[in-house]
Structure formats: structure tokens, C-alpha cells
Amino acid sequence: MRMLINVPETVVADALRGLAAAHPELTVDVERRVVVRRDAPVAGKVALVSGGGSGHEPLHAGFVGPGMLDGACPGEVFTSPVPDQMVRAAAAVDSGAGVLFVVKNYTGDVLNFEMAAELAEDEGIQVAKVLVDDDVAVTDSLYTAGRRGTGATLFVEKLAGAAAEEGAPLERVEALARRVVARSRSFGVALSACSTPAKGGPTFDLPPGELELGVGIHGEPGRERRGMMTAREIAEVAVDAVLDDLRPSDPVLLLVNGMGGTPLLELYGFNAEVRRVLDARRVPVARTLVGNYVTSLDMAGCSVTLCAADEELLRLWDAPVATAALRWGR
Amino acid sequence: MTETYGADAAVRWMAAVAAAVEREAGRLTELDAAIGDADHGANLKRGFAAVAATLAEEPPATPGAVLVTAGRELISTVGGASGPLYGTLLRRAGKALGDAGEVTRDELADALEAGVAAVGQLGGAVPGDKTMLDALTPAVAGLRESFAAAARAAEEGALATVPLRARKGRASYLGERSVGHQDPGATSSALLFAALAEVTAG
């Protein structure tokens, strides 16, 4: 096992201590696993809380700060956090204007956030929830737990976070978050399996020279295995899979996301190919973000997320943000 | 004469589950690696260890209270889907037992049936979806006959998930590729009933 860790049991706590050391603008409760912006609760402002398994860094703790999330709850690696964490985070960031839970559509996240919402409401906190389910690889959702929530989570957190920062009330922030979900789609590709600390090695066997199409972000195998393809071929498959499902009439926000084990050199090259395909399909790109944002530990691979952005969404995208992993305009 | 079971039997049950999960954590994780994300064993081990510790520290007075405490502890420590699902199973069963000091096997079966119904409702799953319900549902039916029959039925139910296609949970994203693998949740559910048979035998 080649991992820069102490023991698997303390991976999450160790990372949180390091996050706290690097970012004094965050309040990090290492023991209870709650990360909030230091100035929370912000008077009169709707608060955004998200969370999910660890191993997707910088999602979500890296997106806590002005203009994005007010709080995040990291669970064990690839395991949803527990309701206690979410309630604690909600209580820490609620100014009385209410809290929006941003939930990725995985059974564990959904169940724990549901329980947390009930408990938080018992404590007098007004809670709304938005479910992110953008992954087009899950086609026959009648036979699954629905589409997975992946790259679009970043768009929801950034855009709804900007709306909340502007002072929009809870129902408007919630409606906007739902609009972003409805306008966003993703497709992911793995060139290698990821290694979880608990297992100490790859979670599935992917021989060199093969890739998995349609993967999620938990190191689970994808829907289909194929022989190795070029960046150009992968871009065509990924973009067309997204465009089969989303016909944007507006310019799009484009996220070319790395899964954690693919260098930026490759991601930028891949972005060039994605752009070539989008140009050929006559889809104008308004803004592009390239990097490792919604990751899967050390998995090599990438995902493409498009969000059909209207004028309001573009304005909110450009609004200032100051988090550990996303920062501009201030 | 009808045999009855008190809080001490419930505590021993939970301790036996903790031991079984600890022993089988590697196998659960291997099963989960095939169709999930390889952490089922580690998560349940953490949860039931916390349950056993809490119960040992302050043993509740009734079997109902033992199960409610255990369920609450699982919800607070496990995370993922198995935390809320196993937590709900035990919490609901415990609530159904009320504050009786001693319960019969039939009363326990009634309570667990209520727990299993709550799990189905929470997860939106039915038997045949390749989930823990495929072991829990036959186990509760078997419990009407004997503890051993419940354990057997759970084990058979878990084995019967192998040819199924997953329709709920993370394995559902694999579609046809989930076929041919035993469901880790059904497998851990079988451990629950094996432990119950173990502590009630003789």
C-alpha cells in the first residue's frame, strides 16, 4: 500500500486537523467532524450545508466560505456522515433565516440527511433540501436508486451559495438550487480504480489498457468496460452522453473534473477535446473550470459536467467566492 | 411453559452481533468491493462496537430499551445507508416491544416484523431488490417457528441474492453487472439472526 496516511482509522480526522491548520478562516471541529465558516452564522443569511463521504476532496469542506457553503460534514471515506453531524452543522450556521441541505443522490446521504432534517426541525431550524442527481450514466433509473449526484454538486453549491450571499430567502435559494440541478448533467470515466484506506488497495480490478465508462465517484465499477481510448474519443463519448440528455439552448458552464489521480496536463488536454466536441455540436461555452474538484481518492479519470446557464446563473457564477478550493472576485 | 427473554438476552444478542461483525468484517468488505465501495464491514464493525460499549456501560432495563438504544447508537455512528437502515430496524423493533421486562419469541417476531416494515419503507425497497430485506423478511417469518429456523432462512435469503439484479442502493448503478454477487447487506442481516440463534440456543 502506498498511501500518505498513518492508519486507516484516523484518515478523516488527520485530514481535518490539516485543513484547520491551513485555513484559519474555517472553524473545524475535528472530533465531531463539522467544518463551518468562521463568521457563521451570518445575520439574515440563508445557510447552505452539505456533506457526504470523505475521499471527494475538495468537495465539500473545501467549498466552505463566503459565496458558497456555510458548513460541511465529512463522513468516513465514501460513507455518508451521520445525522448528528448535520444537525450540529445546521445549528452552528443557522441565523434564523433557514438552512438548505445540498444532498447528493446516494441512498446513505439521502437517508441520513432526511433524519437530520427532522431532528433539526425539532430544534426549530427551518430546513429545505435539494437532491443533486446529474449523472447520465444511470439511464434506467426505474431500476436503480435514481441518478447519482456527482459534478453538478459544485454548480449547485456555488450558484445557490451566491444567491444566499446576496440575501435571497430560503425558498428562492432552494428553487434556484433545483433549477441548477434540472439544468446540469454529468458523465464520468475511470482509467484506474481508486484505493480506499480501509481496503488498502484498488476497489476493483481494472487491467492496464482498459477503462470504465459511466463511473460514479465511489470507486464502484462503471456501466461498461472498453479498451483504452484517446482523450479525443473519450471526450466524444462523454460529451455526447451528456448532450443526449441535456439540450442546452443557453451557453453552458463547463466543468472538466479530475477524479484525483489525473494530472492537470492531461485534464487541460482533455478540455481541449471537450471544447472541440462542444464546438462541433454548436454548444457555446460561457465559463470553464478545469481541475480536481469532485474526486474519488486516487482514481485516474475525469468527468464532464454541463450546466445550461441563463443570465442569472452566469451572474451568480461570477459572484465572489472565497473558499479553500474555489476563490475569485474578492 | 413459554420461554421468555429479558434485557440481558438482548444485550448478549447485540454483543454477539458485534463479535460476528468483527469476525466477518473482511468478508463483508470483499462482498461490498464487488458491487459497492468496499466499506460495509468496516462501517458495521465501528457501529456495533459502539453499541456493545454503550450497552455494557449502562445496560437498559428492558429488551425494548436495549434495542432502541442500539438503534440510536447505530444511526449516530455508522453513516452510509446501513446506519439509518439497521438503526431503524432495531429502534422500531425496540419501540414495538414497549416496556415489557420479558418478551416471548413470538413477541420478538412481531416487533422485528414492525422493524423490517420500517426498513422497507425507509429504503423504498421490497424483497427481490437485492438488499438486506432479502434476508430480513424470510428471517422474521422463520422466527415464528424457532430461532434456528430464522437464522437458516436469513442465510438462505442472503445466498438467494446472488442471481438478482440490484434495484436499490449503490449496487443498483451497476445494473446487470450486479448479477452473480451476493448482497453485502443481506449477508450482514444473516449475521444478525445467526447471532440471535447463538445466544438463545441451550
pLDDT in tens, B38-58: 789 989 999 999 999 999 999
**Cα B106 to Cα B27: distance, rounded to the nearest angstrom:** 32
Out of A107, A138, A221, name the one closest to residue B81 (CB): A107
Neighbouring CB atoms inside 10 A of A263's CB total 11
Q: Tell me: cis bond preceding A24? Omega within 30 of 0 counts.
A: no
**Residues in Cβ contact with B35 at an 8 Å cutoff, skipping those fewer than 6 apart:** A220, B166, B170, B171, B174, B177, B178, B181, B183, B184
Given A33, A56, A158, A183, which residue is catalytic?
A56
Question: Over the stretch A213-250, which tens digit does the pLDDT of each residue have?
Answer: 998 888 767 778 999 999 999 999 999 999 999 999 89
Told to judge if A218 belongs to the known catalytic residues of this protein, a careful annotator would answer: yes
Contact B173 A144 (CB under 8 A): yes
- Identity of residue A109: D
Q: Do A228 and B69 meet the contact criterion of CB atoms below 8 Å apart?
A: no
The minimum CA-CA distance between B34 and chain A, rounded to whole Å, is: 7
Question: Over the stretch B138-150, which tens digit does the pLDDT of each residue have?
Answer: 999 999 999 999 9
Q: What is the mean pLDDT of residues A99-127?
A: 96
Question: What's the whole-number average pLDDT of chain B?
Answer: 95
Beta bridge partners of residue A322, listed in sequence order? A327
Q: What is the mean pLDDT of residues B28-33?
A: 89
Q: What is the mean pLDDT of residues B105-130?
A: 96
Residue B2 has what pLDDT? 67
Q: Do A220 and B37 meet the contact criterion of CB atoms below 8 Å apart?
A: yes
**What are the chain A neighbours of B81 within 8 Å (beta carbons)?**
80, 106-108, 111
Q: Which of A65-69, A202-206, A306-310 has the lowest mean pLDDT?
A: A202-206
CA A73 from chain center: how many Å?
A: 13
How would DSSP label each residue in A98-122? -EEEEEES-HHHHHHHHHHHHHHHH
Q: Does A52 touch chain B (CB under 8 A)?
A: no
Res. B88 pLDDT band, cuts 50 70 90:
very high
Q: Does B121 touch chain A (CB under 8 A)?
A: no
**Residues in Cβ contact with A200 at an 8 Å cutoff, skipping those fewer than 6 apart:** A1, A3, A8
- In this predicted structure, the answer to whether residue A141 has a pLDDT above a threshold of 70 is no
Residue A204 has what pLDDT? 77
Q: Which of A137-141, A293-297, B124-128 has the lowest mean pLDDT?
A: A137-141
**Cα A3 to Cα A55: distance, rounded to the nearest angstrom:** 13
- In this predicted structure, the answer to whether residue A1 has a pLDDT above a threshold of 70 is no
Q: Does A81 touch chain B (CB under 8 A)?
A: yes
The minimum CA-CA distance between A249 and chain B, rounded to whole Å, is: 29
- Which is it for strands A34-37 and A71-77: parallel, antiparallel or unpaired? antiparallel
Q: Do A72 and A60 meet the contact criterion of CB atoms below 8 Å apart?
A: yes
CB–CB contacts below 8 A, A to B = 115
Residue A226 has what pLDDT? 93
Beta bridge partners of residue A195, listed in sequence order? A202
Angle in degrees, CA A133, A100, A97, rounded to 5: 160
Q: Which of A98-107, A143-152, A298-307, B12-21 has the lowest mean pLDDT?
A: A143-152
**Residues in Cβ contact with A297 at an 8 Å cutoff, skipping those fewer than 6 apart:** A55, A77, A194, A195, A196, A219, A260, A261
Q: Which helix (H) or strand (E) holds A304?
A: strand A301-308
Q: Tell which wins on pLDDT, B174 or A194.
A: A194
| CB-count burial class (<10 Å; 0-12, 13-18, 19+) for A227 | exposed
The minimum CA-CA distance between B175 and chain A, rounded to whole Å, is: 7
- The answer for B 149-188 residues in CB contact with A (under 8 A) is 165, 167-170, 172-175, 177
Question: What's the whole-number average pLDDT of chain A?
Answer: 95
Q: Does A204 touch chain B (CB under 8 A)?
A: yes
Residue A203 has what pLDDT? 77
Res. A148 pLDDT band, cuts 50 70 90:
very high
Contact A84 B170 (CB under 8 A): no
